[in-house]
Structure 1
Amino acid sequence: MADLSRIRNLYYQQFESKATFLYSPGRINLLGDHTDYNAGLVMPAAIDFGITFGIGKNNTDEVNILAADRNERITFNINKIEKSQDKEWANFLLGVIDQFKRNGEKIGGFDLVFGGDLPACAGLSSSTALECGLSFGLDRIFELGLSKRDHLSITHKADKDFMGLNRTYMDQFANLFSVANHIIYLDCKNLYHEHLELEMSSFRFVLFDTQIKLDLNSSEYNARRQACEDAVETVQKYIPQVKTLRDLTPEALDKIKNKMYPPLYEKTSFIVEEIKRVEDAARDVRRKDWDSFGRKMYESHEGLRDKYKVSCPELDFLVEKSKNYENIKGARLMGTGFGGCVIALVKMSNVEEMINDVKKAYKKKFGKKLIAYKARISNSTSLIA
């Protein structure tokens, strides 16, 4: 939200229409990566890094969008929505507008300026922040009266229908339903959720960004999804009632272990264990047992590395390095894997000293700059002015 004055000034330098200003956050996921597309359990939350929007209707059919941080703009007729060939960021916005039009919502031309401190391609859901921020903004300036569930549906369909992304509801849910200082305990099977209070005034989540950028259409990600579908097909030969890996217990999996191709069994085992790990971690949060929660973060990383095989040397180095510091309770790779961020649960003592030490070690090992973000849990997308 520190970008409000900058975005406001830019908006009124560019446009004459009256603006509404809002903020759309990024998100972390504490535990449960790759369980979402298996109808499993996850623990996401919005963070205090995000995108500030200035948006106003201009009473024409023309849409004018300025990406402040890139100094790039697009202009088009709202009745002629076509994918951009050279501006990927624009397509996430275009997909939302397309979905509004498909739904028959009465929207017209508008002006938009956006920018913020949320890094792109770092696994913090910057694309979702774009989608949800615009959906929320269009709802407000055209007085459509949409609910959070409506925005959830619109942005998810924009992902699928316009962008061709095979993602679940998790990122949008975290963006739209987060509450400050609470983790969302989310069941991806039916979207049942609880807000678990943190009360962690003496802790922060530190994100170590490897600077290895993630591809939303990663072939490795799609291969993991396919492996889970293959696993369900195999399991159903012996346990017909299993519809997703969420339906499979560790005990049942163990009984058919020898019936499965070993690499497929390992991936299946990780998903089943991770779902159980999230369930147990929710009890840790309720009890404020951060030592136990931290151990589960390390266990999660080990499974992602050894069984699901979505880690990389940079991520593994950072997680192993984190074990050298008493003020780090736990750490793991976060998101798809193969790059992006390591998330660490850090007690707020000597934090800057620890971060600088890790940066130096990373630079020495890989010859690359490491960026670190100290994040708090924030509220969902909301109006700010």
Structure 2
Amino acid sequence: MNELLINKTTAFFQKTFGTTAEKIVLSPGRINIIGEHIDYNDGYVLPAAIDRIICFAFEKNNSNQSRIIAIDLNDEFQINLKDPIELTDNVWTNYVRGVINQLKLKGFELEGFNCVFSSNIPVGSGLSSSAALECGFLFGLNELFNLNIKPVDIALMGQSAEHWVGINCGIMDQFSSVMGIENKVIKIDCRTLEYEYHNADFIDYSLILFDSNVKHSLMTSAYNERREQCEEGIAIIKNNFPEITSFRDCTEQHILGLQNVMSPNVYKRSLFVVKEINRVIEACEALDSGNIEALGKLMFETHEGLSTDYEVSCAELDMIVNTLKSEDAVVGSRLMGGGFGGCTINLIKKGHENRIKKQLSGLYLETFGIELKIYDVKIGNGTSLYKNN
């Protein structure tokens, strides 16, 4: 699948510019096994890069003018690198502009360049196509102009670019897109950015994403609202327990004891965060011992928390998870990403995938009148140069 994408991208570049690209970059989407909505709460997360990617092709063009083409959108824009960088109404270009803005803010000098890109990462499904765009684009410029930016800093600058666009994301998406390793998950400490790899040996299981094919409009406003509620929660906790500096230091008992001084929503959000941080630790232990059933149980618990305490699920996602929960061949399922639509991530025993896909698709269509999209994924490498060009 990725070879076809690489060939398509490089052929388009050759046809458009009449030259062979100097650099080919592959930048993956990501899944998150567990640890949802806690990357901005000083928690741990457990993401991995996947084998769905954006492919970029770059060359210098010896001018101040740069031309960037989104093949799949049949759209492009040009930018003079000497001009101030400003947001526009053409949303996809803002992620690219945000990266250029970060480079300018940090004093990097760029010449003009040509870039084309194409993707097989589903957009709007919680697979962080925006992080793959930011980090792949920045990685390519780093290679093209020998900027010597370290991988972790590529992730941080990608995050800052997304903040500039207006999405107040945590670090997980960009970090996992850049730092992923095949068949490994990354436990990221979102407070210190320390990280460690854990084997993701799903040999008897398939990772399948069921895309609800809905995206409810609450997404962006609710995301920012949840962040504000968590900030209010930790402020109340610190006021009552001065020794606590973040949710990381809390126990469930701390939260339960403060229920009467928190609003109902702040209480529920705070309780979810503390429980989810602990689930990530337990998930790493399950992976290290090869206990995939225990990991799956934690995934189901996370979904319940996201649905009832963090309240970022929706009827479609709840239906998918509740249906799969009754299947012996499904050991774990939960919504993945910001919520209000997008995908569920599911661990299914091999040999049962086709039956479950068929049954769930039919039931989903019957219930909501919507086609379920299905993506088989494997854990892959982070953003990299394509070596065989």
User: What residue number does 2:310 align with?
Assistant: 308
Matches within 5 A, 1:33-52: 33-52=36-55
The 1-side partners of 2:131 and 2:218 are apart by 11
The 2-side partners of 1:281 and 1:243 are apart by 24
Q: 1:118 to 1:277 in 2, by over 3 A?
A: same
User: What residue number does 2:337 align with?
Assistant: 335
User: What residue number does 1:274 align with?
Assistant: 276
Equivalent residue letter for 1:95: G
List gaps (5 residues or longer) in structure 1.
none
Q: What does the per-residue CA deviation read over 1:348-373, in whole Å, with 9 as the maximum and x for residues that have no partner? A: 21312211211111111000111010
Matches within 5 A, 1:227-376: 227-376=229-378
Q: What does the per-residue CA deviation read over 1:36-70, in whole Å, with 9 as the maximum and x for residues that have no partner? A: 11100111111111111111111111111111111
* Residue 110 (structure 2) aligned to one of 107, 111, 116: 107
Structure 1 window deviating more from structure 2 (337-346 vs 75-84): it is 75-84
The 1-side partners of 2:19 and 2:99 are apart by 21
The 1-side partners of 2:123 and 2:9 are apart by 18
Equivalent residue letter for 1:332: R
Equivalent residue letter for 2:161: A
Q: Classify the secondary structure of the residue corresponding to 2:29.
A: strand
Q: Classify the secondary structure of the residue corresponding to 1:301.
A: helix
- TM-score between the two structures when normalised by the length of structure 2: 0.95
| Contact preservation (8 Å) 2:208, 2:347 | yes
Q: 1:359 to 1:29 in 2, by over 3 A?
A: same
Q: Percent identity?
A: 36
| Contact preservation (8 Å) 1:17, 1:57 | no
Shift of 1:216: 9.9
Shift of 1:321: 1.1
The 2-side partners of 1:353 and 1:10 are apart by 39
Q: Classify the secondary structure of the residue corresponding to 1:195.
A: strand
Equivalent residue letter for 1:368: I
Q: What does the per-residue CA deviation read over 1:81-113, in whole Å, with 9 as the maximum and x for residues that have no partner? A: 544533211110111011112212121111111
| Contact preservation (8 Å) 1:165, 1:217 | no
Shift of 1:337: 0.9
The 1-side partners of 2:185 and 2:342 are apart by 21
Q: In the alignment, does 2:123 pair up with 1:125? A: no
Structure 1 window deviating more from structure 2 (127-136 vs 246-255): it is 246-255
The 1-side partners of 2:29 and 2:237 are apart by 36
* Residue 152 (structure 1) aligned to one of 152, 155, 169: 155
Q: What does the per-residue CA deviation read over 1:305-349, in whole Å, with 9 as the maximum and x for residues that have no partner? A: 111111100000000111232221110011111111111011221
| Contact preservation (8 Å) 2:233, 2:266 | yes
* Residue 80 (structure 1) aligned to one of 80, 83, 86: 83
| Contact preservation (8 Å) 2:209, 2:374 | yes
Q: Classify the secondary structure of the residue corresponding to 1:380.
A: coil
The 1-side partners of 2:337 and 2:264 are apart by 24
Q: Classify the secondary structure of the residue corresponding to 2:73.
A: coil
| Contact preservation (8 Å) 1:210, 1:314 | yes
| Contact preservation (8 Å) 1:123, 1:214 | no
- TM-score between the two structures when normalised by the length of structure 1: 0.96
Shift of 1:124: 0.7
Shift of 1:217: 6.8
Shift of 1:246: 2.0
User: What residue number does 1:174 align with?
Assistant: 176
User: What residue number does 2:100 align with?
Assistant: 97
Equivalent residue letter for 1:120: V
| Contact preservation (8 Å) 1:17, 1:58 | no
Q: What does the per-residue CA deviation read over 1:164-223, in whole Å, with 9 as the maximum and x for residues that have no partner? A: 321111111101111000011111111111110122222221111111237797111111
| Contact preservation (8 Å) 1:48, 1:375 | yes
Q: Classify the secondary structure of the residue corresponding to 1:37.
A: coil
The 2-side partners of 1:59 and 1:31 are apart by 46
The 1-side partners of 2:269 and 2:149 are apart by 40
Q: How many residues align?
A: 384
User: What residue number does 2:225 align with?
Assistant: 223
| Contact preservation (8 Å) 2:330, 2:346 | yes
The 1-side partners of 2:74 and 2:366 are apart by 34
Equivalent residue letter for 2:66: V
The 2-side partners of 1:171 and 1:336 are apart by 11
| Contact preservation (8 Å) 2:13, 2:20 | no
| Contact preservation (8 Å) 2:230, 2:269 | yes
* Residue 61 (structure 2) aligned to one of 58, 68, 72: 58
The 2-side partners of 1:217 and 1:105 are apart by 34
Q: What does the per-residue CA deviation read over 1:248-277, in whole Å, with 9 as the maximum and x for residues that have no partner? A: 112322333344333322221111111111
* Residue 208 (structure 2) aligned to one of 206, 217, 223: 206
| Contact preservation (8 Å) 2:219, 2:340 | no
